[in-house]
């Protein structure tokens, strides 16, 4: 790592300094109260309170992720003139007002259609955002999504030359539905899409960015009652108590080394509420990471929240909210049953994967609520360790199966995704170890908090991949160590519009001793509805 790799370009330094200097001046004439921009997407916590179509304002989005609060806000249409005063506001399961315009500079009502009255009411809310990104990379390693993709080395053309990308693929549309309670059970559901789906391999560059594929981000139903919260469908994993501990970043989440996984699952959870703290506990049977293993994956999470010690935090680039200080421990266990290392396998080899995550959200300078944002400082931190869990961090390290020895020759076709387990040349199956530390700070500038900054650091490494991957060609393209650092500046132009600037530095050390780095400069523009 060289000194030049850590320097932020002078233009970004100057911009940040200018915003810091100008913030107090703007505070002299605070804008009139407006309705707030809602978070991008819903996402249940380990045992979040019931989903409502109109949760309170702050669910990975990153822009890139859904809001972390168990009941995220949904944006609303602008109020019509000369409208009579609304009736007393409803309250969600946390006792917060919802569903009506607020005098807050940040609060907004949701786009909600209601049919029926009182306990016989059906509701559907529409939410989402339009996102535009301008990105410049110092190498040709990434598309608009970076994550933990292997960086191209300087001894090839793609590692010497840069590229510029414009994209709107992270734009999002979601629907939140709730139906009447029946015999103590309240059903609800979420269906959410973005435009980052898989596209044909033969798609041109123009088709990839201008005609992107629609994909499901969330598709789940919940059955809420006084005993247990039952969830079935695709949403964020329970592992890591997602998305409560996501960092504030302009880059699409996950940042390198961060937990982020959406998958299909059956989850049982419960929140035990007291005045000082809430305790959330959940267990889930999750889609097998390898369907040929025949066994579902098991996940569990425990989260303790201090209710009166609130911190302001943003998951990704959108969805700012105030939540209690929290500590979580979670884990997973999974089985692998992989075809033997042969061109014509007649048996399988087994291996066990496991993971543990310890996460914290610490309000260094707390706030009383989500409307009081100036001079709020929050620390986010995660420590992840495990084996065979690369998919949980969208991280393969470039690991693929080695070529078959000669003899027997031929081609080995694995029945599992790359990066999770690997055969050595002797035909023994091993799971790939990874451990990661992620830390981030976010500070909301006084007086209003409409300008805020964040910075994140991560360090991820594999301690056994060096002994597992020995083929000379593979050692050039497999990394064992990755570091990442970013600096982000956000500005809320209006409650419905946010802009952000970011500098991101990623560095990787390969098995052959060489290293590579990428520097990314990013402008994001967001309209929330």
pLDDT digits (tens, 9 = 90+) for 65-81: 444 443 444 344 444 44
pTM of the model: 0.79
At residue 8 the predicted structure's pLDDT band, cuts being 50, 70 and 90, is: very low
* pLDDT at res. 185: 94
* pLDDT at res. 248: 97
CA distance 34 to 302: 37
Q: What angle do CA 420, 421, 425 make, to 5 degrees?
A: 145
pLDDT digits (tens, 9 = 90+) for 448-464: 999 999 999 999 999 99
* pLDDT at res. 409: 66
CA distance 183 to 27: 52
At residue 404 the predicted structure's pLDDT band, cuts being 50, 70 and 90, is: confident
Question: Residue ranges of the domains in the chain?
Answer: 3-132+168-494, 133-167
Q: Which residues, listed in sequence order, are joined to residue 469 by a DSSP beta bridge?
A: none
Q: Is 120 exposed, middle or buried (0-12, 13-18, 19+ CB in 10 A)?
A: exposed
Cα 317–chain centre separation: 10
Average pLDDT, the chain: 84
At residue 408 the predicted structure's pLDDT band, cuts being 50, 70 and 90, is: low
CA distance 433 to 186: 42
Which residue, chain included where needed, has tokens 């994001």? 524
pLDDT digits (tens, 9 = 90+) for 374-398: 999 999 999 999 999 999 999 999 9
Q: Is residue 14 scored above 50 in pLDDT?
A: no
Average pLDDT over residues 391-408: 87
Q: Is residue 432 scored above 80 in pLDDT?
A: yes
Handedness of CA 412, 415, 419, 420 (dihedral sign): negative
For residues 302 and 89, the model is more confident at 302
Q: Is residue 40 scored above 80 in pLDDT?
A: no
pLDDT digits (tens, 9 = 90+) for 173-212: 999 999 999 999 999 999 999 999 998 888 999 999 999 9
Average pLDDT over residues 367-371: 93
The answer to whether the beta carbons of residues 65 and 247 sit under 8 Å apart is no
Handedness of CA 93, 96, 100, 106 (dihedral sign): negative
* pLDDT at res. 151: 97
Asked if the peptide bond before residue 439 counts as cis, ω within 30 degrees of 0, the response is no
For residues 366 and 426, the model is more confident at 366
> Half-sphere exposure of 449 toward its Cβ, with a 13 Å CA cutoff?
28
DSSP 65: S
pLDDT digits (tens, 9 = 90+) for 99-115: 333 346 776 777 999 99
At residue 412 the predicted structure's pLDDT band, cuts being 50, 70 and 90, is: confident
pLDDT digits (tens, 9 = 90+) for 147-177: 999 999 999 999 999 999 999 999 999 999 9
Provide, rounded to the nearest whole percent, the portion of the chain with pLDDT above 90: 71
């Amino acid at each position: 790592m060289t000194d030049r790799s850590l320097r932020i370009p002078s233009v970004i330094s100057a911009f940040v300094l200018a915003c810091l200097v100008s913030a107090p001046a703007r505070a002299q004439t605070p804008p009139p109260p407006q309705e707030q921009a809602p978070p991008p997407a819903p996402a249940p916590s380990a045992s979040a309170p019931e989903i409502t179509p109109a949760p309170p304002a702050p669910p990975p989005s990153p822009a890139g992720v859904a809001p972390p609060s168990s009941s995220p806000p949904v944006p609303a249409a602008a109020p019509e003139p000369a409208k009579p005063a609304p009736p007393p506001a409803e309250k969600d399961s946390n006792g917060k007002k919802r569903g009506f315009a607020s005098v807050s500079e940040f609060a907004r009502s949701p786009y909600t259609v209601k049919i029926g009255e009182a306990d016989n009411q059906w509701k559907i809310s529409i939410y989402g955002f339009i996102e535009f990104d301008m990105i410049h990379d110092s190498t040709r390693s990434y598309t608009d999504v970076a994550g933990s993709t292997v960086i191209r080395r300087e001894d090839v053309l793609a590692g010497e030359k840069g590229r510029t990308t414009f994209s709107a693929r992270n734009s999002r549309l979601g629907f939140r539905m709730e139906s009447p309670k029946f015999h103590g059970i309240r059903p609800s559901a979420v269906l959410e899409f973005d435009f980052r789906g898989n596209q044909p391999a033969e798609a041109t560059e123009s088709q990839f960015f201008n005609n992107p594929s629609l994909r499901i981000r969330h598709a789940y139903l919940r059955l809420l009652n006084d005993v247990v919260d039952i969830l079935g469908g695709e949403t964020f994993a329970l592992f890591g108590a997602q998305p409560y501990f996501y960092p504030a970043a302009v880059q699409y989440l996950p940042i390198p080394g961060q937990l982020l996984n959406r998958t299909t699952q059956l989850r049982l959870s419960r929140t035990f509420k007291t005045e000082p703290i809430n305790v959330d506990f959940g267990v889930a049977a999750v889609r097998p990471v390898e369907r040929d293993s025949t066994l579902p994956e098991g996940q569990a999470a425990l989260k303790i929240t201090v209710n009166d010690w609130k911190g302001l935090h943003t998951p990704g680039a959108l969805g700012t909210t105030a939540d209690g200080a929290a500590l979580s421990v979670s884990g997973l266990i999974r089985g692998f049953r992989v075809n033997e290392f042969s061109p014509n396998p007649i048996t399988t080899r087994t291996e066990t994967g496991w993971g543990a995550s310890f996460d914290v959200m610490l309000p260094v300078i707390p706030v009383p609520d989500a409307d009081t944002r100036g001079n709020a400082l929050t620390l986010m931190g995660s420590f992840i360790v495990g084996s065979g869990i690369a998919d949980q961090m969208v991280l393969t390290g470039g690991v693929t199966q080695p070529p078959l020895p000669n003899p027997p020759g031929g081609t080995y076709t694995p029945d599992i995704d790359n990066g999770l387990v690997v055969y050595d040349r002797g035909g023994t199956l091993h799971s790939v170890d990874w451990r990661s530390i992620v830390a981030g700070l976010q500070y909301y500038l006084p007086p209003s908090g409409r300008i805020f900054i964040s910075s994140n650091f991560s360090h991820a490494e594999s301690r056994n991949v060096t002994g597992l991957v020995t083929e000379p060609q593979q050692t050039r393209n497999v990394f064992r160590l990755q570091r990442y650092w970013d600096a982000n500046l956000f500005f809320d132009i209006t409650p419905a519009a946010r802009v952000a600037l970011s500098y991101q530095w990623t560095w990787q050390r390969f098995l052959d001793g060489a290293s590579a780095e990428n520097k990314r400069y990013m402008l994001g523009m967001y309209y929330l509805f």
